[in-house]
Structure 1
Amino acid sequence: MDAEYQGLTFSRPGHATVRIETDDGTVIYIDPWSEVIDGAPGDADVVFSTHDDRDHYDSDAIEAVSSPETTVAVFEDIDASALDVEVVSLAPESETTVAGIGVRTVPAYNRADGPHLRPNGDPFHPKGTVIGLVLTIDGTTLYYPSDTDALVELEAIEADVVLPPIGGMATMDQHEAATLVRQIGPALALPLHYNTPQIDGLDADPEEFKKVVEADSDIEVVLF
């Protein structure tokens, strides 16, 4: 199932991979992963990768969705030397333009005193190892938090569309994500990163997330 908003069509091949197509046929992927990409579509005009976890930065998946003209924009800590395409480096907490798309990078991490820690007590994603993306595409602003807790500093983000992770374990869970989405107040929320067969522990009830977010609000949730 696709979701549409203001001329943008959002598809979720699976997990945290998102495909966005504009009215004029421009195609953007965020964090493509081989486990959920079907074949080698080669249709991407722009690809974004937010960090180097295998399910978010996958050079094989990027090659599969790319053509020789594709622009790839990755968090600066990612080693993208294996890619045979133009690569743009994205610094943390910065603003730039990539192929006509406004790009703002925002914090994404697990708090050292938070609930999403490894057995040894370290955060799954320490501060400075992940970026969230706020993209402006044809006048629509979308927020892709990537792998992060529901941080207080994220509540002030303004976006028309929010694509939050809801699976817990290494990210905010459905309850934390619902609270953050309601704080931001987008027109549309599209949950990601949950109930992925290839990764244990990402458990969520998307229908309950939808119910909580939509209760007494103007936010629409599409389970796409």
Structure 2
Amino acid sequence: MVQHDGTTADWLGYATLRLAGEDITVYLDPGRYGVLDGLKPQDGDVVCVTHDHHYDSDAIRQVAREDATLVLFDGIDANRIDRDVERPADLPYELVNVDEETDIAVGDPTGDRDDGPRPGEVFIRTLPAYNDPNGPHTRADGEPFHPPGFGCGFHLTLPSVWGRDVTVLWPGDTDVLAGHAELDVSLFCPPIGGSFTMDRQEAARLAEELAPNLVLPIHYDTFEALETDAAAFAGDVAGRGVPVVLD
């Protein structure tokens, strides 16, 4: 568990990130590979899912409140997933489908603030997430593991109990893309496992360009293809003058 500017960030394993701001809790890509074993919080006000690989309907039920809002990439197709999952439309929650260029406010806001998210509300901006077809993260036949249009990343703005907004970037399963470095990011949560996404060296270079207040890496060491040296990543990022923590 990491405390950052009045918010709490938990990397629960694989791509599962839990963020708690003022009166709102958000989960990103919950579930798979046992990361939620023994955990039944059902405290998520908002649940965001980037693409098919991270869609786990049982996990969503495990973390979501009864009145939760699901923010799912609109390309998620339960019929295409080779696991036993429910269709998003069959889940008992408010469903919001997003593409790669969506800007929305989600939650149950209170108060009169109009210059940022109010308590109980999160601003969500989506962005493209994919592997470069001419890059290294492709299958033997040259097809990207995550082709363009297959998923999205999430840039979140949460209200903090300290009275200032916190901007969080989970770029999704992606290479470093044009435009990433232009984002305003307080907490950067990059994938560093390589193989299917940017690796730790690429993520460290992007962290230096973004210059966030804190870097918390995720999406590594879940299985062999994602194994990496997280300590070396932390040292690399710190050596670039960017605060970093391993959860």
TM range (shorter): over 0.9
Bigger relative contact order, structure 1 or 2, given CA contacts below 8 A and separation 6+?
A: 2
Query: Are 1:70 and 2:78 counterparts?
Result: no
Instruction: Write the deviation string for residues 7-50 of structure 1: whole angstroms up to 9, x where unpaired.
Output: 100111111101111244x2111000142013322111111101
Tell me how far 1:81 sits from its aligned partner.
2.1
**2:10 alignment partner, SS class:** strand
Give the alignment of 1:21-100 within 5 angstroms: 21-24=20-23, 26-34=24-32, 35-39=34-38, 40-53=40-53, 56-79=54-77, 80-99=88-107, 100=121
Query: Are 1:208 and 2:232 counterparts?
Result: yes
Contact 1:15 1:36 in 2 (8 A): yes
Give the 3 Å change call, closer, same or farther, for CA 125–216 of structure 1 in structure 2. closer
In 1, the alpha carbon distance for the partners of 2:143 and 2:36 equals 31
Name 2:82's counterpart in structure 1. Answer: none
Query: Are 1:167 and 2:193 counterparts?
Result: yes
Contact 2:173 2:196 in 1 (8 A): yes
Query: Are 1:7 and 2:6 counterparts?
Result: yes
Instruction: Write the deviation string for residues 116-159 of structure 1: whole angstroms up to 9, x where unpaired.
Output: 00111100000111101110001111111110001232121110
Q: Which moved more, 1:76-85 or 1:117-126?
A: 76-85
Give the alignment of 1:96-115 within 5 angstroms: 96-99=104-107, 100-115=121-136
In 1, the alpha carbon distance for the partners of 2:46 and 2:193 equals 26
Give the 3 Å change call, closer, same or farther, for CA 82–200 of structure 1 in structure 2. farther
**1:38 alignment partner, SS class:** coil
Tell me how far 1:216 sits from its aligned partner.
4.2
Contact 1:142 1:159 in 2 (8 A): yes
Q: CA RMSD in A?
A: 1.2
Instruction: Write the deviation string for residues 158-177 of structure 1: whole angstroms up to 9, x where unpaired.
Output: 10010000000100010011
TM-score by length of 2: 0.85
In 1, the alpha carbon distance for the partners of 2:128 and 2:99 equals 11
Tell me how far 1:94 sits from its aligned partner.
2.1
Structure 1, gaps ≥5 residues long: none
Name 1:117's counterpart in structure 2. Answer: 138
Tell me how far 1:86 sits from its aligned partner.
1.0
Larger radius of gyration: 2
Which of 193, 201, 205 matches 1:179? 205
Name 1:221's counterpart in structure 2. Answer: 244
Question: 1:223 corresponds to which letter in structure 2?
Answer: L
In 2, the alpha carbon distance for the partners of 1:216 and 1:118 equals 32
Contact 1:8 1:21 in 2 (8 A): yes
